[in-house]
Amino acid sequence: MPCSALSPSQQHLVFSVTPLLSISLNKNGTQIHFAHKQTCTPLFLDTINPDVVQASKNGGFQTISDFNHQLTSLVLEDEFELALKLTSSSSFYALTPNEYTYSIWVNLYCKKDDPETAKSILGHMLEHGFQPKVETFTTLINSFCKAGKLQHAHQVFDVMGQIGCEPTIYTYNCLLKGLCFLGRVEEAYDLLMNIKKSKIKPDLYTYTAVMDGFCKVGRSNEALELLEEAMEMGLTPNVVTYNTLFNGYFKEGRPLDGIGLLRKMKEEKCMPDHITYSTLLHGLLKWGKIEAALSIYKEMLKLEFGVDERMMNTLLRGLCRLSRKQKELLQDAYQVFVKMRSRKLVVDPVGYELVIEAFCSGNKLDKALENLYEIVRIGFSPKAFTFSNLIRVLCLEGEVEKALLVFVLMMKDGKSPTKVPFNLLINELNQKGMILNACYLYGLALKCGVATRNKPRYIRLGMRFRIEDSYNQLELV
């Protein structure tokens, strides 16, 4: 809003801090405004010390401590631009930065994902005779590790040793995570061994970081050994630690080992979360373990964990394919299908076709017809096989009228019937004594260039058929 829009009725006490920055105090708390091109960007900060505001009314911050407090507030609120502008105007206050000021600036640039500038500030800090605390070093090391710049992280770590600043386990954990992020797991393992030899004790995060590194390079067995080692040391694995192993088993094509791990989690009184189940389900589906996936899926429903659309489609397709031989899975497939529809999830075309095929094999022809009409209605175009298979099953069950409707739908959908559906329909029409309809279909087969094995039972000599009329009579109403 324009700076001029601050009305007296808002009871603001406005005072200048810098040519660009102003602070205002009202009954709702303190606001910091930054003027740029006749506009103000407000920031509500109840944490700002009123004494700082009072000091600012006298022309600026009275102490560097006051300045640090306000700068810290901005950094904690992720108001980086305001913090940078306040920083750039620090000379206006004629205050000399101290150790805490430099540490705040290092933290600011690390949060902005600019560790290079943070490193430069650390250098200035050392040049001015200040000794950074271990937290400042660790923040910078972590920032370099997150950026994949391990060499720079190690340089900062070496400086710590040169000035006698002892690293903590959090410092080592940052290095371990950085090494594992780059796939340098042997170095990470060696560092873990060195930590164990030192006076610093590894914590759960230390082990989890190295386990994650092993899992990412397909060495889940070694990760499991580390888990057991951590437990022997009295550390209690949490759900994040276990999830690391689930990811490893998934990537290595060992999802069934995840079933055993899930059991172990429960025995250790560590409750699996949504990520645990989703990772396990995804792995089982990817590697074709459909029945195990179904069991996990049902468990997720009991726990009211959601399953995403992609995995639901994969499970549906897998169950439909298995139901060709294991008819008892047809009901499970149908329940998954119904669940997807109730959640308004999109069933993909292949899933719809497999559902229709499963209903055909399970002799649930009304449901097969219902879903065929639905898939066409919503704009999907089923394969010719889907139509032909349903025609075949309907004819075998003596439902020739319904089979004719499917045949017409097939033609309307632009699919060219082969001789199989023609033969099936003509034969069934002959059996039912529906000779005229059989003749229509026979004529249509000739028009389509299909040589049928079956012919109408009686064809009178000299009888002529108008194929167009016969086709129209077969159209759906």
What is the domain partition of the chain in residue ranges?
1-96, 311-382, 398-477
Residue pLDDT, tens place only, 341-355? 999 999 998 999 999
State the SS3 of 61-78: CCCHHHHHHHHHHHHHCC
Is residue 153 within 8 Å of residue 187, measured between CB atoms?
no
Of 148, 145, 136, 67, nearest to 108 (Cα)?
136
* DSSP assignment of 112-137: TT-HHHHHHHHHHHHHTT----HHHH
Mean pLDDT confidence for 2-11: 33
Residue 20 has a pLDDT of 31
**How many whole angstroms separate alpha carbon 226 and alpha carbon 188?**
13
Q: Residues 305, 283: contact at Cβ < 8 Å?
A: no
Mean pLDDT of the chain: 82
The confidence score (pLDDT) of residue 289 equals 96
In the structure encoding, which two tokens stand for residue 417, read together?
A: 């019937």
Is pLDDT of 46 > 70? no
Tokens matching residue 2: 């324009």
Q: Among 120-124, 224-228, 379-383, 460-464, which is the least confidently predicted range?
A: 460-464
Q: What is the pLDDT of residues 379-416, one digit of tens each?
A: 888 999 999 999 999 999 989 999 999 999 998 888 88
Per the CB < 8 A criterion, the answer to whether 368 and 389 are in contact is no
pLDDT band with cut points at 50, 70 and 90 for residue 296: very high
pLDDT at 60: 61
Question: 212 phi and psi, to 5 degrees?
Answer: -60, -40
Strands (E) across 153-262 are located at none
Among 35-44, 108-117, 292-301, the minimum mean pLDDT is found in: 35-44
- 121-132 pLDDT tens trace: 999 999 999 999
**Whole-prediction pTM value?**
0.73
Q: What pLDDT was estimated at residue 86?
A: 83
Of the two residues 432 and 202, the one the predictor is more confident about is 202
Checking if the pLDDT of 53 tops 50, the result is: no
CB-CB contact of 44 with 31 (8 Å):
yes
Are 475 and 405 spatial neighbours (Cβ–Cβ below 8 Å)? no
Q: Give the model's pLDDT for residue 454.
A: 62
- Work out the average pLDDT over 191-220: 95
Look at residue 135 and tell me whether its pLDDT is greater than 90. Answer: yes
Per-residue pLDDT, 19: 30
Most confident of 20-29, 326-335, 420-429: 326-335
The average pLDDT across 216-237 equals 95
Q: Tens digits of per-residue pLDDT, 364-377?
A: 899 999 999 988 88
Q: How far apart are the first and last CA of the chain?
A: 64
**What letter would DSSP give residue 168?**
-
Report yes or no: 136 and 124 within 8 Å, Cβ to Cβ: no
Q: Is residue 22 over pLDDT 90? A: no
Tens-digit pLDDT profile for residues 28-42: 433 333 333 322 333
Output the furthest CA–CA distance in the chain (Å, rounded).
116
User: Which strand ranges, in their side-by-side order, compose the sheet holding 13-16?
Assistant: 13-16, 21-26, 29-35, 40-44
The single-letter code of the amino acid at 338 is V
